Amino acid sequence: MRLKILKHSEMHLKDKIVITDASCFITLDKIDGINLLHSLYKQVITTPEIAAEFGKRLPDWVDVKAVLNRDLLYDYAETVDIGEASAMALATEIRADLLIIDDAKARKFAKKLELNITGTIGVILSAKLNGIIPSVKPYIIKIQETNFRISDWLTSQILKDAGE
């Protein structure tokens, strides 16, 4: 099973508007990789709920937008946490090209909503496949030194998909 990754041969990533959940910001910040988002995507958006969960000042290139449809947000929050719910509600509202989300339960719910998703590991692989970084392995090693859970299967799959 190949990871679903958008390569440069598909719609250019720099044309994409993405929304990211806190886990992506937190993990990439811990491994000094947060600028990969800016290098890959046209516009990176998050919500005030996620910005608060991140707990640090976000880079200037991240747009923070509130969900206008609060009923939708609260409906989603009955299934997932408020940060994830806000990301999904905003992705639905603005028709974002991609939602970056890592939590398994939240990913399953996002798929039911027919949102196009990837995770932090997918971002790193996209950076490699699009020539932004030379190798995913150093990033994977750094991630394994954090509290971010990555299975042995996913580790081997990303290395295989990256040609490493």
Domain of residue 115 covers: 13-161
Write the CA distances from 48 to 59, 63, 99, 103, 143, integer angstroms.
14, 10, 16, 19, 25
Residue at 17 is within a domain: yes
Residue at 8 is within a domain: no
Residue at 125 is within a domain: yes
Residue at 137 is within a domain: yes
Residue at 3 is within a domain: no
- Residues of the chain with confidence (pLDDT) below 70: 1-14
Nearest partner of 84 among 114, 58, 53, 63, judged by Cα: 53
Residue at 119 is within a domain: yes
pLDDT score, position 2: 43
Which is it for strands 43-46 and 98-100: parallel, antiparallel or unpaired?
unpaired
Residue at 4 is within a domain: no
Give me the number of domains the chain comprises: 1
Residue at 5 is within a domain: no
The pTM score is 0.88
pLDDT score, position 111: 94
For residue 18, list its beta bridge partners: 44, 98
pLDDT score, position 149: 84
CATH number for the domain harbouring residue 41: 3.40.50.1010
